[in-house]
Amino acid sequence: MSLTHVDEKGKASMVDVSGKADSVRLAQAVAHVHMRPETLSLIMEGGLPKGEVLPVARLAGIMAAKRTSDLIPLCHPLRLSHAGVDFSAISESVLRIVAEVTAVDSTGVEMEALTAATGAALTIIDMCKAVDKGLSIEGVRVLKKSGGRSGDYVWQEGEA
């Protein structure tokens, strides 16, 4: 298996997708924000000094998906059809973020989904750091993707 973003001389290179047909692309990514239980309670109750955390983080994630090619040097700018971010408390101290991105384009949207999930997570940290210095982002990964030549992918528990 060869790296797609490295040319034959070992230099970083943007992949040429001009010969690929457009198709419907979808990707979901996840990130987990770990925090003190009191912090998660404040988030869920809307009781933080900086205001409503989840609506702001949702918008930050959507905006991050739209700006992925500005942040990741070799990503293609894509025509996104949809970007969404959802949140769920999966324990008393872990907030799960799932971002989903779709596009009709010639390359995948995995990086956009990952950027949405981490952009939302970073916004949560920014809004909560005054009350919880120990916040961390963990478990960032693609959950699933579909479309394109490489086919579908679904993350399996225990996969690296």
Q: How far is CA 33 from CA 4, 88, 103, in A?
A: 31, 11, 27
Q: How far is CA 142 from CA 27, 38, 129, 146, 153, in A?
A: 7, 29, 26, 11, 9
* Residue among 7, 22, 70, 126 flagged as catalytic: 126
Q: Which residues does residue 25 pair with via DSSP β-bridges, in sequence order?
A: 103
Burial 95-104 (b: 16+ CB within 10 A, else e): bbbbbbbbbe
Element of type H or E holding 144: strand 136-146
Whether 150 and 110 have beta carbons less than 8 Å apart is answered as no
70 given a catalytic annotation: no
Residues annotated catalytic, as ranges: 126
